[in-house]
Amino acid sequence: GHSAAHVARADVVVTSSAVRADNPEVLAAKAGDIPVIPRAEMLGELMRVKDGVAVAGSHGKTTTTTMIASVLARGGLDPTAIIGGKARAFGSNARLGQGEVLVAEADESDGSFRHLFPMVAVVTNIDREHMDHYGSIEVLRAAFVDFANKVPFYGLVVLGADDPVAASLAPELLKRHVTYGLDSGDYRGQVLSAGPDGTRFRVVARGKQRGEVHVRTPGIHYAENALAVLCVSDFLGVPFADYCAALETFEGVDRRFSVRGEAAGVLVIDDYGHHPTELKATIAAARLYGRRVIVAFQPHRYSRTRDLFTDFAPAMAGADIVVLTDIYAAGEPAAPGITASALLDTFTPGRPVRYVPRADLVQALGDLAAPGDLVLVLGAGDITQAAADLLKRLRQGQATPAPTMIGDIPS
């Protein structure tokens, strides 16, 4: 946990946007006259002495950042990486390399990514997110333009062409840029197959056939992330063979479509997704298994739930059963009328959806799940523990799975 003792011998304390001003380590640092600076400011300083690759975007940036680091490591560049999640290959959210490249996830949530001065800037997509800070999608978009134009004349901006907002930045960029996508872009991916073993696609770069690529993680959106990675690795001179080999063995990021295990014939997958766009893509990946999909979703933050209130239900249309549980506040005060149970009214009448208090979630999922089902646990809060607890319950035989008709949800 957090303790003032942790900073006793520190020269500087670096904080993320999630750290509150009353954090005991922050208070102790200020009392001891130890500098306290934002994460982005420290990254900006590091990028003055390194060749920075900064990955920004509403969705996919953690996986894309990790993929880039893995490909560059395979290509012999020995990068340093700072990631917003735990990379399984590194066993950490960071990698300390001896090379000249620093790969970092750029946080746009509070505008702090404007502190960065990368040699390569990647913008995966731009969605209606963090409206508590920006107020409108137009202001958010302008922040991304500012971020991308921090690239030097010898650098590169990489844009997701399949996202209309990200693609729209191109005319306002002052620096060299390249686009990628499955439907359009300078780098295109032609999907050959998609299933539980991942996605195979053929790369065509600027009209030239490059070869076939296999991304092991299920979900076509991971192939799109991989195309962004190729734009970066080509720019930095990594051979295509090393790029392919790194993706073939890519182990992913914790809580990004993480298969936790199978018990009593029930497959349990855990994912950090909490925005409607992420929910839709992750559920589509789960459907590739050919199983009945039961989604357990924990909304994240009252402000986000309020701003996107009517978007969650259609995003989860691909699930056979939806179980909603209490909003994870993440330090926010409750908002009047904004509850998980209130979300029920946004679903089409007759849809198999129910609300279950967080304390009863594991039992409810155990009662619902039958052999052959896939339970997909979604959310950025403490719902990840429900995945582990459900597996434990199933393994101990505490649940008695029985076939449940899609429209028959016990109350």
Report the CATH number that the domain containing residue 335 is assigned in CATH: 3.90.190.20
Q: Does residue 338 have a pLDDT over 50?
A: yes
Evaluate whether residue 387 is within a structural domain: yes
Q: What is the structure's pLDDT at 89? A: 86
What mean pLDDT do residues 326-346 have?
93
Domain span at 379: 258-395
Evaluate whether residue 402 is within a structural domain: no
Evaluate whether residue 59 is within a structural domain: yes
Could you tell me which of 158, 77, 137, 148 has the C-alpha nearest to residue 114? 148
Q: What is the structure's pLDDT at 38? A: 87
- Which one of the listed residues 15, 25, 50, 62 is annotated catalytic? 62
Q: What is the structure's pLDDT at 69? A: 97
* CA count, 13 A, side-chain hemisphere, 3: 5
At 28, the pLDDT band (50, 70, 90 cuts) reads very high
Residue-wise pLDDT tens digits, 122-136: 999 999 888 888 889
Evaluate whether residue 23 is within a structural domain: no
* 319 and 174 both lie in a single domain: no
Which of 220, 248, 276 is where one domain is finished? 248
* 195 and 286 both lie in a single domain: no
* 174 and 268 both lie in a single domain: no
Residue 284 near residue 195, CB atoms below 8 Å: no
* CA count, 13 A, side-chain hemisphere, 397: 0
At 112, the pLDDT band (50, 70, 90 cuts) reads confident
- Is residue 105 part of the annotated active site? The answer reads yes
CA 394, CA 369: separation in Å to the nearest integer?
10
- Is residue 175 part of the annotated active site? The answer reads no
Q: Does residue 24 have a pLDDT over 70?
A: yes
CATH code for the domain of 222 = 3.40.1190.10
Q: Does residue 170 have a pLDDT over 80?
A: yes
What mean pLDDT do residues 23-50 have?
92
Burial letters 132-168, b for 16+ CB under 10 A, else e: ebbeeeeebbebbeebbebbeeebbbbbbbbbebbbe
Evaluate whether residue 388 is within a structural domain: yes
Q: What is the structure's pLDDT at 398? A: 60
| % of the chain with per-residue pLDDT over 90 | 81
Q: Does residue 194 have a pLDDT over 70?
A: yes
CB atoms within 10 A of CB 75: 21
Question: How does the average pLDDT of the chain come out, rounded?
Answer: 92
- Which one of the listed residues 25, 105, 129, 278 is annotated catalytic? 105
* 244 and 106 both lie in a single domain: yes
Q: Does residue 404 have a pLDDT over 70?
A: no
Q: Does residue 405 have a pLDDT over 70?
A: no
Specify the higher pLDDT residue, 400 or 223. Answer: 223
Evaluate whether residue 406 is within a structural domain: no
- Which one of the listed residues 25, 50, 61, 179 is annotated catalytic? 61
Evaluate whether residue 6 is within a structural domain: no
* 275 and 214 both lie in a single domain: no
CA 119, CA 68: separation in Å to the nearest integer?
14
Q: Does residue 101 have a pLDDT over 60?
A: yes
Which of 222, 248, 274 is where one domain is finished? 248
At 403, the pLDDT band (50, 70, 90 cuts) reads very low
CA 53, CA 41: separation in Å to the nearest integer?
15
CA 295, CA 274: separation in Å to the nearest integer?
12
Residue-wise pLDDT tens digits, 231-285: 999 999 999 999 999 999 998 888 889 999 999 999 999 999 999 999 999 999 9
Evaluate whether residue 327 is within a structural domain: yes
* 243 and 262 both lie in a single domain: no
CA 315, CA 318: separation in Å to the nearest integer?
8
What mean pLDDT do residues 93-116 have?
91
Q: Does residue 407 have a pLDDT over 60?
A: no
Total domains in the fold of the chain: 2
- Sole residue written with tokens 């962004």: 228
What is the value of pTM for the model shown? 0.88
* 285 and 375 both lie in a single domain: yes
Q: What is the structure's pLDDT at 132? A: 81
Sign of dihedral through CA atoms 350, 352, 357, 358?
Answer: negative
Q: What is the structure's pLDDT at 39? A: 85
* 242 and 298 both lie in a single domain: no
At 60, the pLDDT band (50, 70, 90 cuts) reads very high
* 278 and 190 both lie in a single domain: no
What mean pLDDT do residues 62-80 have?
97
* 82 and 169 both lie in a single domain: yes
* 228 and 269 both lie in a single domain: no
* 119 and 239 both lie in a single domain: yes
